[in-house]
A and B are shown apart, each in its own frame.
Chain A
Amino acid sequence: MEPFKVLTSRTVVLPQDNIDTDQIIPARFLTTTTKIGLGREAFYDWRYTPDGKTKDDFILNTVDADEHRVLVAGRNFGCGSSREHAPWALTDFGFHAVVSTEIADIFTSNALKNGLLPVVVDEETHARLLEHPGEQVTIDLQANELRMGNHVVRFTVEPFSRECMLEGVDTLGWLIARVPTIEAFEREHAA
């Protein structure tokens, strides 16, 4: 995982509330056994017609993903399933951060493990972001700040996940180092 410190990029706005994981990546693409290449299938049914034609007017088909790393979405983003394919698809597409007023629990946990920063902001900031699609924003994880012109808001990220993101380290290694303590727990609790 790449360390995440400060990200300056343009936004893509998907204003819908309750964008669920079936929209982010439809279930029929979950038969993959790798994490690679899922960006192709991100928002598939919103990007393509049933017969596979690109919908030219859909925002994700018009932007240059390299310049639009921040997804701004409506309330309750990422609800639904626990599929980590959702953040894999979003990061593979090019996103490094998702901003909303509310982001689902399991999605948040999955995103943080994949270098995709979930940023929860207040209604007012959210409304400004929705009104200015394509705006350049800076998401500063070191300062816990989102900056948009003169508008600055603070956000919070679960401290341990934040540390892991800043350092670009995986939590698995940390847990593996705990195995002796885990073994002691097991001995103590074996009836």
Chain B
Amino acid sequence: MNTPKTLYDKVFDAHVVEPETVERPAVLYIDLHLVHEVTSPQAFSSLEALGRKVRRPDRTVATMDHSTPTLPAGPDGERPYATADAKNQVRQLERNCAEHGIRLYGWDSPERGIVHVIGPELGVTQPGMTVVCGDSHTATHGAFGALAFGIGTSEVGHVLATQTLLQRKAKAVRITVDGKLSKGVSAKDMVLAIIAELGFGGGTGAVLEYAGEAIRALDMEGRMTVCNMSIEAGARAGMIAPDAVTLDWLRGRQEAPKGAEFDKAAERWLALASDPGATFAREIRLDASKIAPMATWGTTPDAAIAIDAPVPAAQTAAARKSLAYMEVEAGKPLAGQPVDVVFIGSCTNGRLGDLRSAAEVFRGRKVAPGVRVLVAPGSEQVRRDAEAEGLHKVFLAAGAEWRLAGCSMCIAMNGDQVGPGQLAVSTSNRNFEGRQGPGARTILASPASAAAAAVAGCVADPRPYLDTAA
């Protein structure tokens, strides 16, 4: 009898080129390397300084998303970059990819989009793979049972040069969510509740495996939303075992195996699930039926509470600083707090299902006066799909802006910003001070909650809007 293994063990162990010792981490093989414009230029430079080429351009996929404008090119064909540096950074990516023979989903590609949205969309992300990217939200791809994690630019260079990384095994932690989510409560609310439970930094040194009835009941988009935010608890990665839902998503995707090859792969993928009796460093259980629509009151993603619950009194200096920055009052609920901006998009909540859920609230309603609403689809494919359903018309009729795909206001590098002191309800993943622009205040919430805030003009429970729309 072999020792029972976790999903993480199985994927990690299958990629060990040289085993870990006391003195040295393992050399871990990387199946898929995703590249974007922000964290790669210095890695290509260091490669070139050594006179080396990218070792496996066939295992490298690039796109542009962070510094890219979400407004279309002007009549002169010029794209409205925020700065000359932003434009230069995108140009440099184009040059580096051309030079090294890397597939780039660039401006002229109908598949361009946020790196963590297009990987799964194209089917390049597959179960059992090791996937890395110079981006902390790489954990998104773990929804497929891949071991996916963010790396720094030096490591981007390591992977470009060798297709490997030095890695020590992390501890596996299982988060089981039992029961069923109530109507109007989404995967975003679930992951905010999980992070609130774990604490910011509570996942440091760990790879999280999400399991249980409520996780199984999520579609792939919801699973991606959950895995995406693993890093907000400090975890290296988040993973979900592949099942029929995973296979259904992958079947027929551009880069997924076809026909008999697919069936063979599917058998392998389904065997990745943690063995019965596999041990975890820690087990955490949550009850999905107790989760309400969530929102954050502070400047760390774990500061999440039910939208209608009172903001907790500050117990620490950090919490006091958070409350002061956010200008919210302890003891009062977030619901009712007037908002200036609503952002719907990002690698957390920029997929078709997210836009549908926001549109359900917007349909037949108007954005409250004085509120700016920006909707940025996660990819050009998502944009086309949404337009085919007429969702863009719903957003536009409500008074929201409908943009091109990109990170947009999630990181505010491309000119899409929340103004100083303004309060935003955002479907993105980070509420750090100034994340959405200098002095900007961010409340994280689900797409339905964000849309409800847009319509109400203040933080609002989305459920009444969903009920009347139904």
Q: Which residues of A contact B (CB under 8 A)?
A: 15-18, 20, 22-23, 26-28, 30-35, 45, 50, 74-76, 79-85, 87, 102, 104-106, 109-110, 113-114, 158-160, 163, 171-172, 175-176, 178-179, 181-182, 185-186, 189
How far is B155's CA from A114's CA once the two chains are assembled, in angstroms? 12
Q: Can you name the residue of chain A whose Cβ is closest to the Cβ of B29?
A: A185
Q: Mark B166-191, 1 if CB is under 8 A from A, else 0.
A: 10100000000000000000000000
| Minimum distance in angstroms from A98 CB to a CB of chain B | 15
Assess the A31–B413 pair: CB atoms within 8 A: yes
Residues on A with beta carbons closer than 8 Å to the beta carbon of B434 = 22-23, 26, 45
**Given A16-B321, A23-B433, A181-B18, CB of A81 within 8 Å of CB of B136:** yes
CB distance from B105 to the nearest CB of A (A): 20
B92 x A172 contact (CB < 8 A) = no
> In chain B, residues 417-435, which have Cβ atoms closer than 8 Å to a Cβ of chain A?
420, 430, 432-435
Contact A172 to B438, CB < 8 A, known contacts A84-B39, A105-B205, A160-B24: no
Q: Which of B216-249 contact A (CB under 8 A)?
A: 231, 234, 236
In order of increasing CB-CB distance, the 5 nearest A-B pairs are A110-B152, A33-B41, A76-B201, A31-B85, A82-B150
Provide the bound-state CA to CA distance between A189 and B28, in Å.
13
Neighbouring B residues of A74 by C-beta, 8 Å: 318
Contact between chains at B413 and A178 (CB < 8 Å): no
Known: A16-B317, A31-B38. A84 touches B152 (CB 8 A): yes
CA distance A110 to B151 in the complex (A): 8
Cβ of B17 within 8 Å of any chain A Cβ, yes or no, is yes
Contact (A110, B154) CB under 8 Å given A28-B412, A33-B92, A75-B201: yes
| 18 pairs, CB–CB < 8 Å, chain A vs chain B | A17-B318, A18-B300, A23-B432, A27-B413, A33-B89, A33-B92, A50-B439, A79-B234, A81-B135, A84-B42, A84-B134, A84-B154, A105-B205, A109-B151, A163-B23, A171-B158, A175-B27, A178-B17
Does B136 contact A82, Cβ atoms closer than 8 Å?
yes
Chain A minimum-CB-distance residue to B420 = A50
- Contact A160 to B204, CB < 8 A, known contacts A35-B42, A109-B152, A171-B158: no
Closest to A34 in B: B42
Residues of chain B whose beta carbon lies under 8 Å from any beta carbon of chain A: 17-18, 22-25, 27, 29, 38-39, 41-42, 45-46, 50, 52, 55, 66-67, 82-83, 85-86, 88-89, 92, 134-136, 150-155, 157-158, 161-164, 166, 168, 200-201, 204-205, 231, 234, 236, 299-300, 316-318, 321, 411-413, 420, 430, 432-435, 438-439
- The minimal Cβ–Cβ distance linking B31 to chain A, given in whole angstroms, is 10
Q: What residues on A are CB-neighbors of B41 within 8 Å? A: 33-34
User: Taking A20-B432, A82-B39 as contacts, is the C-beta distance between A102 and B204 under 8 angstroms?
Assistant: yes
CA distance A102 to B321 in the complex (A): 19
Chain B residues with CB below 8 A from A22, complex form: 430, 432-435
A85: chain B residues within 8 A (beta carbon):
153
CA–CA, A84 and B50, complex, Å: 20
Q: How far is the CA of A91 from the CA of B137 in the complex (A)?
A: 25
Chain B residues contacting A110 (CB-CB under 8 Å) are 152-154
Chain A residues with CB below 8 A from B22, complex form: 159
Query: Do the beta carbons of B136 and A106 come within 8 Å of each other?
Result: yes
**In the complex, what residues of A have CB within 8 A of residue B67's CB?**
31
How far, in angstroms, from A109 to B158 measured CA to CA in the complex? 13
Are B432 and A185 in contact (CB-based, < 8 A)?
Answer: no
**Contact indicator B83/A182 (Cβ below 8 Å):** no
- Determine if A158 and B25 form an interchain contact, defined as CB atoms under 8 angstroms apart: yes
Q: Is the CB of B85 within 8 A of A32?
A: yes
A16 near B318: Cβ-Cβ < 8 Å: yes
Q: Report the minimal beta-carbon distance from A60 to chain B, rounded to whole angstroms.
A: 16
Question: B161 to nearest A CB, angstroms?
Answer: 6
When chains A and B are docked, how far (Å) is the Cα of A186 from the Cα of B164? 11
A106/B318 in contact, CB under 8 A: no
A27: chain B residues within 8 A (beta carbon): 411-413, 435
Give the residue name and chain of the B residue nearest to A111 (CB).
B152
Shortest distance from the beta carbon of B410 to any chain A beta carbon, whole Å: 9
Residue of B nearest to A83 (CB): B39
Chain A residue contacts of B164, Cβ below 8 A:
175, 178, 182
Is the beta-carbon distance between A80 and B136 smaller than 8 angstroms?
A: yes
B166-A171 in contact (CB<8A): yes
Measured CA separation A33–B161 after assembly (Å): 19
Whether B27 pairs with A181 at a CB distance below 8 angstroms is yes
Q: Give the residues in chain A near B136, CB-CB below 8 Å.
A: 80-82, 106
Min CB gap A191→B, angstroms = 9
Who on chain B is nearest to A177 by CB?
Answer: B162
Nearest neighbor of A20 in chain B, beta-carbon distance: B432
- Assess the A31–B166 pair: CB atoms within 8 A: no
